[in-house]
């Protein structure tokens, strides 16, 4: 699926790159087989799910 030589990076490596993007649907496919969602959640190639890392409203800055 990927042109990395010798091998595609591991799923926990930030070196994977986008091979298919569907911004209108809110997801991108990385070369290591991971599906990344706009809400920061992930679906790993082995079926495991990484929950979204959302910021609480208290952590957001408020513009006056």
pLDDT at 16: 78
Spatial separation of the C-alpha atoms in residues 35 and 18, rounded to whole Å: 9
Q: What pLDDT, in 10s, does the model give residues 37-60?
A: 887 788 888 888 888 876 666 655
Nearest to 43 by CA among 55, 27, 54: 27
- For residue 62, the model assigns a pLDDT of 57
* Distance, CA of 35 to CA of 47 (rounded, Å): 10
Is 0.85 topped by the overall pTM?
Answer: no
């Amino acid at each position: 699926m990927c042109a990395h030589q010798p091998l595609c990076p591991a799923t926990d490596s930030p070196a994977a790159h986008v091979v298919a993007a569907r911004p209108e649907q809110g997801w991108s496919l990385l070369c290591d087989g991971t599906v990344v969602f706009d809400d920061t959640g992930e679906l790993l190639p082995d079926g495991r799910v990484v929950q979204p890392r959302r910021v609480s409203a208290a952590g957001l800055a408020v513009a006056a």
